[in-house]
Amino acid sequence: MFFDFGLKDLIDILLVAIMLYYSYRVMRESRSLNVFFGVLIFVISWLFISQILEMKLLGSILNQLVNVGALALIILFQEEIRKFFYTIGTHQRVRSLLQLISGEKRKKHEKEDIMPIVLACMSMGKQKVGALIVIERSLPLNDIMRSGEIIDANINQRLIENIFFKNSPLHDGAMLISHKRIKAAGCILPVSHSMNIPKELGLRHRAAMGISQETDALAIIVSEETGNISIAFRGNFQLRLTAEELERILTEDHF
């Protein structure tokens, strides 16, 4: 045997595998997968040369490149690194553990905060008025709010419908709801370039998917073509929702 293999080594390998898996997912979504494989090949080569072959001269050169390259990678992939830690922090089991430690309890939201949104979406769906509503959760969306017109009003069905009325100047943007208030309208969202989005879904759906991939926000879409109501959450769509389904989703601690 060349080395002893124990439980600690197994845990070490599993942790590295998990870290590489999450890094792979983040890089794949940000279309930096080729860079990820390039960095991975370089790190494996560096470990093989310096640790196994013990080539001192080449190993020392690669060590210097790694020291400089680590800082360069942090600067180059700061958005991906932020998203990596965000993905870990918003993992359902991690969130449950944090809630258990802090003593936080889930609260069921009152219907008067939810029903105006549901009724407005159903009304706009019947009239085939397009709408995009983003509901902030744990991650602040101040940058999204600043991209639109500040409103800061109570949630009201008529206000929502008036904002998304076809002749309204704020019709094409997204509405942001935070802390049970309409914070802004006409907001600009990041657009997802995922190839998995069905081609029949338009730009509103891509914008909703984009914000759901980058944050933990929930996005409601009312299709201008079909009147169907959909939701984008954590990078997944729920399409053609009924009023009851929309109310249930908003009630289950997503609001």
State the Cα–Cα distance between residues 191 and 104, nearest whole angstrom: 33
Distances (CA, A) of 74 to 33, 60, 71, 126, 216: 16, 22, 5, 49, 23
Predicted pLDDT at 32: 58
State the Cα–Cα distance between residues 2 and 43, nearest whole angstrom: 22
Give the number of other CB atoms < 10 A from CB of residue 112. 9
State the Cα–Cα distance between residues 69 and 88, nearest whole angstrom: 24
State the Cα–Cα distance between residues 143 and 163, nearest whole angstrom: 20
> 218: which residues sit within 8 A by CB, 6+ positions away?
134, 135, 137, 212, 231, 232, 233, 249, 250, 254, 255
Terminus-to-terminus CA distance in the chain, angstroms?
57
Predicted pLDDT at 29: 57
Q: Are 204 and 132 in contact (CB under 8 A)?
A: yes
Predicted pLDDT at 136: 93
What is the tens place of the pLDDT at every residue in 164-189? 998 888 888 999 999 889 999 999 99
Residue ranges in the chain whose pLDDT is less than 70: 1-4, 23-36, 69-70, 73, 75-111, 253-255
Predicted pLDDT at 233: 92
What is the tens place of the pLDDT at every residue in 83-113? 666 655 555 544 554 444 444 444 444 567 8
Q: What is the pTM of this model?
A: 0.63
Q: Which two structure tokens, joined as six digits, stand for 200?
A: 């029949």
